[in-house]
Structure 1
Amino acid sequence: MPLQLFLNELSAPIEQLARAVSVAHLQTLVAIIRQAQSIDPALVLNSDVPLANLPLGEGTTVASVRNDGDCVEESLYLKTVNNRAPLKLAAAENSVDPDLCEYRLVAGAPLYPGEAALGLGFAHMFDGLSVSFASHDFWLERAIELDLDRPNTEGEIVTAQVSARNAADLSAIAQYADALRSSLVSTVSNGAELWERREELLPNLVFIPRTRQQIQGIHQGDPILDQAWIKLSGINQAIEAWKLNGGPYPMFPFNVRPESRSRRDLAAFNDIHGNRRIFSDHCDLAPTEARIHFIVESDPLRRALIGHIGRKLGIG
């Protein structure tokens, strides 16, 4: 599942604000989402209302700011983001019954004590990230404490205290980057399982025959397994975002570069149809010397053709 961001509906500014403050709120929101897309280009931004209707102060929305000629670029960017509203759609689309649990701000919270907190709650439920407007110092906290009410095995309602990751500025994204990347790591135990589940886990990738042995040869505990998954899923997510957002070429969340002219012949392999092609684009599987080589295709489908997963070509 892509990285899930949830707009904290309780932080939305509803009081009368100077236009410059509303504009700053929108600019910060867009900067946070862009930074999060460097972790997962295919992220989903869940909100209580469609983004155009998002309040930025009394009588002000994203749409009204755009219509007045402010934040034109930011507004256009938000149209490219995979937005899902209302918030409960996240639960419905993942076969989760949101009525079986309730998240509330703790009684000691400086704002809205004891009130339901959908965005924060879903961020905890889906191991994602809540995104808050800096409309109060409370929303600058990196972790927001919540009470979670849910039935136990006997049907009795029990309360547990949990915390949701929260970001109201770019530094919060930097703090949580590793944890969010880890939440995207597959639970496959070895290369054989990854190969068997490749169509399920990596639907935007096609693997040429020579990669089967390379992937199946990755054993449990081999450090290349996590790296291979991170890079393969990153390519897959970049293709998914490319399909959703358009553009001439996918935006990868890590360094992808072409093979040098003197080494291009080393990356020549037969594709799934037996045609000889140059798999020039590649990325590193740090800290090893391994690489993934691939070709980005746009016709007949937008996808990536994986041609090599293993040691740097030409070094044995």
Structure 2
Amino acid sequence: MDNPDGGELLVNEFSAAVHHASTSQHLDEHKTWICSEGIDSISSPAELWELREDHFPNVQFLPHVQQHLETLDPKWFKGARRLLQQLEASAAAWDPSIPGGAHWEAANIRPEHQQARRERWWDDLDGVSRCFELHGNLNRGYGRIYFRLVPEEKAIRIAHIAEHL
């Protein structure tokens, strides 16, 4: 950069706390915030599905969940989007090496009762049938998101976003 006065170029360096600017070393520190930016502007299930890896990097979806989203009653979409955002935050902060599971950012995350677990089995991404025993409620108890923790991938895997089974 040229100095307009023709003299020696002076460079001033300083540090400032800026929420949206950082070095690549700080990316992990800001990752949750970066991923959550723009979620509220996602206005359709199709758009959410298309952007899922950008906004929910710690949440995985079984392939049939795309159809669940596309057929979800539109009045319940915001609740599903909000719960997915909360599950993402929980997964991002989760340390699988600490016993007890994740700290839930959403209210009412709980395992199914023993009898209900018989109906919460889906073929997982590797083709093995597994119990997706955890669930969170959508708006005012309508519908559920059924999921399981995947400690080896530090992820939450979604099997069902639809009506209560």
Give the secondary structure class of the aligned counterpart of 1:92: coil
Taking the aligned partners of 1:239 and 1:225, their CA distance within structure 2 comes to 21
Counterpart residue number, 1:229: 81
2:101 matched to 1:247? no
- Cα drift, residue 246 of structure 1: 6.3
In structure 2, the partner of 1:278 is 131
**Alignment counterpart, residue 22 of structure 2, candidates 93, 106, 112:** 93
Tell me how many residue pairs correspond in the alignment. Answer: 137
Q: Assess, with a 3 A threshold, how the Cα gap between structure 1 residues 184 and 258 changes in structure 2: closer, same or farther.
A: farther
Q: Say whether the 8 Å CA contact 2:133–2:146 is kept in structure 1.
A: yes
Matched, 1:197 2:51: yes
Match of 1:208 in 2: 62
Deviations 1:57-91 (Å, cap 9, x if unpaired)? xxxxxxxxxxxxxxxxxxxxxxxxxxxx9513x23
Corresponding residue of 2:113: 260
Say if 2:39 and 2:55, in contact at 8 Å, map to a contact too.
no
TM superposition score normalised by structure 2: 0.74
Q: 2:155 aligns with which of 291, 298, 303?
A: 303
Instruction: Let me know the Cα RMSD of the aligned residues.
Output: 2.4
Q: Residue 265 of structure 1: CA displacement?
A: 1.4
Q: Which amino acid counterpart does residue 75 of structure 2 have in structure 1?
A: P
Deviation at 1:288, TM superposition (A): 4.6
| Alpha-carbon distance, 1:302 to partner | 0.3
Give the aligned residue type for 2:80: A
Q: Structure 1 vs Structure 2: percent identity of aligned residues? A: 27
- Give 1:64-143 correspondences, 5 Å limit: 86-88=16-18, 90-93=19-22
Unaligned stretches of 5+ residues in structure 2: 1-14, 24-32
> How far did residue 287 of structure 1 move?
1.8
Structure with higher RCO (Cα < 8 A, 6+ apart): 2
Q: Distance in 2 between matches of 1:202 and 1:216?
A: 18
What SS does structure 2 have at the residue aligned with 1:283? strand
Secondary structure, aligned partner of 1:91: coil
Question: Are the aligned partners of 1:224 and 1:288 in contact in 2 as well (CA < 8 Å)?
Answer: no
* Structure 1 unaligned residues grouped into runs of 5+: 1-84, 95-127, 129-182
Structure exhibiting the larger radius of gyration computed from Cα positions: 1
Encode CA deviations 1:197-254: one digit per residue, 9 max, x unaligned.
Answer: 11011000110122110012236xx2211100111110111111114x9633210122
